[in-house]
Amino acid sequence: MSTRCFILEDQAPARRILENYLGKLAEFEVVGSAAAPSTAASILGSEPVDLLFLDLGLPQQDGFDFLLTLAKPPVVIVTTAYAARAVEGFTHGVADYLVKPFSFERFKTATERAVTALQARQHDTIVAIPTDRGHRELVATRNILSLTADGDYVAVRTTSQQLLTAGPLSQWASQLPCPPFQRIHRSHIINMDHLNSIDTRSVEVGGKTLPVSSTYSAELRTAVDRRNAGSQ
């Protein structure tokens, strides 16, 4: 199966170089390209894309700002003239950062790193969580313990840290797989894989006790019964 690639680059000569390089690699397929973020957003929202080649100096919007608008961003390789933003790139979880002009060999190395990142995603569902620090934190869903509404934000508790991201909680409820994620309260979603104990009014998840509301208690009990039946 080929890796489906999209190129977001406002300079036509640079787009042609990327298309030419990708044409030399049989396992990669260019499914589209665009000069403007608005055009790219429309296509990325409707077509499956594995790998995005992202320029930073774009019309309408900075490349990293555009990346933050994607609910489920593909693996990203940055292609830019701005060497000074490399550290910023890796805080956004990019697979590689290419500074123009770059050779085919350097490009090929970047695609190999992207394939490694794609393979890791295939073995685990990864979500990109926009944080209050202005970048996206890539988190494996299996490492998420719970999500809690906190005013206009959502606190995402993982096995290693807590992240604060924009709400509402209902948006995350629709994006996360169910199972294992289960809503237990208007303010709480839990990962059932980390459920330690349960009673009529509360659960313990990852060592923390959370309330269960009457609205969701029957649904939670049904989810627990299904998991128990499936494990027998």
Is residue 33 very low, low, confident or very high in pLDDT (cuts 50, 70, 90)?
very high
**Structure confidence at residue 20 (pLDDT):** 96
| List of domains in the chain | 3-123 (3.40.50.2300), 135-230 (2.40.50.1020)
20-28 mean pLDDT: 95
Is residue 227 very low, low, confident or very high in pLDDT (cuts 50, 70, 90)?
low
**Structure confidence at residue 231 (pLDDT):** 42
26-39 mean pLDDT: 93
**Structure confidence at residue 135 (pLDDT):** 77
pLDDT of 158 > 90? The answer is yes
Q: Would the pTM count as exceeding 0.85?
A: no
Contacts of 6 (CB under 8 A, 6+ apart): 30, 31, 32, 33, 34, 40, 43, 44, 47, 49, 51, 52, 53, 74
**Structure confidence at residue 187 (pLDDT):** 96
99-143 pLDDT, tens digit per residue, is: 999 999 999 999 999 998 888 776 667 788 888 666 788 888 889
Q: Are 50 and 30 in contact (CB under 8 A)?
A: no
35-42 mean pLDDT: 92
Question: Bigger pLDDT: 182 or 231?
Answer: 182
60-81 mean pLDDT: 89
Give the C-alpha separation, 113 to 65, whole Å. 23
**Structure confidence at residue 123 (pLDDT):** 61
**Structure confidence at residue 95 (pLDDT):** 87
